[in-house]
Structure 1
Amino acid sequence: MSTIDVIIFIAYLVGIVLFGSSFYKKNKSSSAFTLGNQSIPGWVIALSIFATFVSSISYLALPGQAYLTNWNAFAFSLSIPFASYMAVRFFVPLYRSINSPSAYTYLEKRFGPWAKNYVSVMYLLTQLMRAGTILFLLGIMLHTLLDWDISTIIIVTGFSVMVYSLLGGIQAVVWTDAIQAIILIVGAIVCILTLMFSMPEGPGQVFEIAAANDKFSLGSFGASLNSSTFWVVLIYGIFINLQNYGIDQNYIQRYMTSSSEKEAKKSALYGGLLYVPVSAMFLFIGSALYSFYTAQPGLIDPNIQADKVFPQFIVNQLPNGLTGFLIASVFAAGMSTISTSINSSATVILTDYFKIDSNSDDDKRSMRILYLASFIFSTLSIGVAIAMINVQSALDAWWKLASIFSGGMLGLFLLGYLSKKLTSLSAFIGVIAGVVVIGWMSLSPIFFPGTSLEPYTSPFHSYLSIVFGTVAIFIVGFLIGVFVNKKVITEKTSL
């Protein structure tokens, strides 16, 4: 990277921190910190929801996957319109009627404190791992480009995001999200144009080479359930995005920041739909990279990992200045996700674990809790990122276990929403059943191969674990509920 690239990147980082911190004067109450006093413009919230979908992982992984294989991942994006419609039709009205900053107040009302505690703890743990993972990836990228100390990069980046998230609250988060969303979209467009007009035989060569090698394929349309066919990825996307829109604090908190239910619905709809064409742009970059390096094979190591192809292009092929802007756009994708995790986690901690009245003295205590929770969460995520430098395998295993337990969130929500008379015990048994199914599908292929238990390993693709787990929670919980209600009715009749 040239000096001008480094200056552009540092200017972006400093500018975002200063802009986000400028909301401190508007962030004097817990309502302002968690909900922005419900006065944030709808278009800002829509861009924030979009930015929550995109992380630096997506920014690098989608081009890498299209470069290596095809557009199979786009099936995930095609599931978003359905989830967005469900949010507009059902989820936004539900949470606006409850009028709580926490997504998990609803589960407490339906099934009691255990349901809220289970889901909120799993949410906090997965957000901590997510923020730590993204910080680690950002550190690795900048370390590779500039040879700066990776721990220093992680600490500086983590505390930079913490500063404006803590000082500015949700207003800083969504407004910086909006700016970062625009930066990352512009960055993707710049890359596409550069790639197309850098081909030896002109832009059309991108399509010729990519099409000849099936780089625009959506994958197999077969009925197999043990590979990532189009249908498997689509169904996986439907369930994941229903979980995002239906029970994920990152999204639901944004429903509550709008001035009205109508604005909240627009934000949920447009924020999700925007991801569809942008994800197609990321995948197109991967296909174009394949064409670019196929036409000019001497420009890259043929054995390079797919996820490193895009960063290599950014550093080696873009003009001075654009490289710094593109690195800033990758950081924008990551920082928007981290800031969201910090604010939403602090909100969950305050709302779900501290019952505080809204008078002025108690609100000061609420602000202290929010500040402290933001600081502790940020510090822990930095610690997770630094730990990943040397013990990635152990943390990967922990992440797998965390995803198993959090996989029960959607099923529990659907039980509460669709079965109005279901008891707490029925839901609890259903969750246990679902977690067992998800655990078997996720872990048996890892631990059982080569053992006497190998015949009992899951034959299904790992994407389907949340699908079968959610279905198991709902069916078991519902049937147990029917049985219990029938037994109660029988006993009352006999009396």
Structure 2
Amino acid sequence: MDLNVIDFYVFIVYMLGIVLFGVSFSLRKRTPEEYTTGGGRLPAWAIGMSIFATFVSSISFLALPGNAYLSNWNGFVFSLSIPIAAIIAVIYFVPLYRNMKSESAYFYLEQRFGLWARIYASIFYLLTQLARMGTILYLLALPLNVLFGWSIPLVILITGLCVVVYSMFGGIEAVVWTDAIQGIILVIGALVCLSVIFLSMPDGPQQVFTIANEANKFSFGSFDFNFIESTFWLILIYGLFINMQNFGIDQSYIQRYLSAKSLKDAQKSTLLGSLLYIPVSLLFFLIGTALYSYYTAMPDLLPMELHKAENADKVFPYFIVTALPTGLTGLLIASIFAAGMSTISTSINSSATVILSDHYKRYIQKAPTQKTALRVLYISSFIMGALGILIGLALNGVESALEAWWALASIFSGGILGLFLLGFISHKVKTTAAAIGVLCGLLIISWMSLSPLIFYGSWIGYSSPFHKNLTIVLGTVTVLFTGFILSFILDKKNINDKVL
């Protein structure tokens, strides 16, 4: 299937426009602080839009409608957990990081538990971002290869290079402002799609809801309490922990807290970005449900191979190409790329900041000149972006590797949230208890993530019986429980030693 010439030019103009706009921020002189936090002068609404755009990756753009098309609205429960995490962040996390006066999210961990905690968290964060960038680039290219025959390696390479260019030269300002533009395009594109679906139904827009209701498409899933199936409560708890991790210890979010003009603006932007995702994710789920009704009412419009469950994620892109008016298709393809590019650009910029703050300044030069610091940021951005592209290329055609990377991403990030909460909740927990707690948490996370791949049926052990979404939950709880218990035991031992 070929993309219309007009649509192709719309797409190309968008890509070039975004790159040139991002690079334009490199034309004026600036300091390393401006590169990483925008000098603390960015408007709250733009930061909020950037947070929102980071939430919505290309995975969300394709997977949420695909999920709703295939099943129901159980996945939307994740969005319902966001207000809880956002309120906690606004009250506790944002003031904490604003008061620290450090651009690194992991400076706090060093203050609480020592240098080891900062090194551990920062390295695992970088590994998480590499897995994230590679996976997003690969999943972005996959449906475009199926629909248009575009080369997967070529899509990964061109998309990756475009993001690397404006992220590397433009800094956080380029990331935030391009995110804001991409977020707006994404919402407009999704609204246009939904409108076309409703207006194209043979018996009118109400037919969408009639067909969907008959198929129980609006269900939030079972309300039973169990740890094996994807129930309402399991997704809600999973979402709460994931969003606590985002708001509490993700470098990209902390940089946005610091890029606002004031504490109040930082809190506003956090609420705006997080709460905006709720109606937009609802929009994506509604699109998936509407597509189910659309192709149920007119089944001949969908090729037989796309009726298969494993191809659910390709239904939305197919609709974009075949059902939208000329010009709008190009805009929607641009929206898919916008979703992926915004997430990747955020990862590149935050990773470069971590490399400078947590590693270069710690091991090589404690007080580099502004020129040196900027050079480190540029080089780090390029290296992280290039590695992300290479990982995306390595994932091409290897489904088991894709699953392994997601499992490793859980391992890389899971213990950091537990360590952060351990230090934040109690000031009595010391280094030894925290380190053992993290180790125990990582063992649980590794078992739950990797056991389906390497442990099942072997003498080492058996596959985890828990739902995969509980990995970060049980891992974090293990870190907290172990840390608190050991802290209590060690404190009691110290008291007894003093008495003796």
Q: 1:392 Cα shift?
A: 4.0
| 1:423 to 1:385, Cα distance in 2 relative to 1, 3 A | same
| 1:26 to 1:422, Cα distance in 2 relative to 1, 3 A | farther
Provide the C-alpha distance between the structure 1 equivalents of 2:204 and 2:444, rounded to a whole number of angstroms. 52
8 Å contact kept, 1:6–1:324: yes
Ranges in structure 1 where 5+ consecutive residues have no aligned partner: none
Question: Pick from 405, 417, 426: which aligns with 1:419?
Answer: 426
| Partner of residue 240, structure 2 | 238
Provide the C-alpha distance between the structure 1 equivalents of 2:459 and 2:398, rounded to a whole number of angstroms. 30
8 Å contact kept, 1:12–1:328: yes
| Partner of residue 260, structure 2 | 258
Provide the C-alpha distance between the structure 2 equivalents of 1:185 and 1:252, rounded to a whole number of angstroms. 25
8 Å contact kept, 2:90–2:271: yes
Question: Pick from 407, 431, 437: which aligns with 2:438?
Answer: 431
| 1:168 to 1:470, Cα distance in 2 relative to 1, 3 A | same
| Partner of residue 149, structure 1 | 151
| Partner of residue 478, structure 1 | 484
SS of 1:142 mapped into structure 2 = helix
Percentage of matched positions with identical amino acids:
57
Question: Pick from 200, 203, 211: which aligns with 1:198?
Answer: 200
Q: 1:146 Cα shift?
A: 3.4
Provide the C-alpha distance between the structure 2 equivalents of 1:367 and 1:358, rounded to a whole number of angstroms. 14
8 Å contact kept, 2:410–2:449: no
| Partner of residue 352, structure 1 | 358
Asked if residue 317 in structure 1 is aligned to residue 329 in structure 2, the reply is no
Asked if residue 401 in structure 1 is aligned to residue 403 in structure 2, the reply is no
* TM-score, normalised via structure 1 length: 0.96
| Partner of residue 369, structure 1 | 376
| Post-superposition CA distance 1:223-282 (Å, at most 9, x none) | 121000000000000001001100011111100100100000001111100000000000
Provide the C-alpha distance between the structure 1 equivalents of 2:335 and 2:29, rounded to a whole number of angstroms. 27
Q: 1:396 Cα shift?
A: 3.0
Provide the C-alpha distance between the structure 2 equivalents of 1:479 and 1:444, rounded to a whole number of angstroms. 27
| Post-superposition CA distance 1:104-133 (Å, at most 9, x none) | 110011111111111111111111111111
Query: What letter matches 2:479 in structure 1?
Result: I
| Partner of residue 34, structure 1 | 36
8 Å contact kept, 1:26–1:168: no
| Post-superposition CA distance 1:331-355 (Å, at most 9, x none) | 1100000100000000000000122
| Partner of residue 306, structure 1 | 312
Provide the C-alpha distance between the structure 2 equivalents of 1:450 and 1:300, rounded to a whole number of angstroms. 41
Query: Where in structure 2 are the equivalents of 1:154-233 lying within 5 Å?
Result: 154-233=156-235
| Partner of residue 339, structure 2 | 333
| Partner of residue 469, structure 2 | 463
Provide the C-alpha distance between the structure 2 equivalents of 1:416 and 1:78, rounded to a whole number of angstroms. 27
| Partner of residue 388, structure 2 | 381
Provide the C-alpha distance between the structure 2 equivalents of 1:225 and 1:140, rounded to a whole number of angstroms. 32
Q: 1:457 Cα shift?
A: 3.7
Question: Pick from 104, 107, 112: which aligns with 2:106?
Answer: 104
Query: Where in structure 2 are the equivalents of 1:6-155 lying within 5 Å?
Result: 6-26=8-28, 28-155=30-157
Provide the C-alpha distance between the structure 2 equivalents of 1:113 and 1:247, rounded to a whole number of angstroms. 16
Query: What letter matches 1:396 in structure 2?
Result: E
Query: What letter matches 1:318 in structure 2?
Result: L
| 1:294 to 1:329, Cα distance in 2 relative to 1, 3 A | same
Q: 1:143 Cα shift?
A: 3.0
Provide the C-alpha distance between the structure 1 equivalents of 2:263 and 2:393, rounded to a whole number of angstroms. 41
| Post-superposition CA distance 1:18-61 (Å, at most 9, x none) | 11111113452101110100000000000000011100000000
Provide the C-alpha distance between the structure 2 equivalents of 1:345 and 1:266, rounded to a whole number of angstroms. 25
Ranges in structure 2 where 5+ consecutive residues have no aligned partner: none
Provide the C-alpha distance between the structure 2 equivalents of 1:339 and 1:388, rounded to a whole number of angstroms. 20
SS of 2:274 mapped into structure 1 = helix
* TM-score, normalised via structure 2 length: 0.95
Q: 1:303 Cα shift?
A: 3.9
Asked if residue 282 in structure 1 is aligned to residue 288 in structure 2, the reply is no
| Post-superposition CA distance 1:327-379 (Å, at most 9, x none) | 001111000001000000000000001228898x7111100100000011111
Aligned residue pair count = 492
| Partner of residue 494, structure 2 | 488
Provide the C-alpha distance between the structure 1 equivalents of 2:257 and 2:147, rounded to a whole number of angstroms. 39
SS of 2:216 mapped into structure 1 = coil
For the aligned residue pairs, the C-alpha RMSD in angstroms reads 1.6
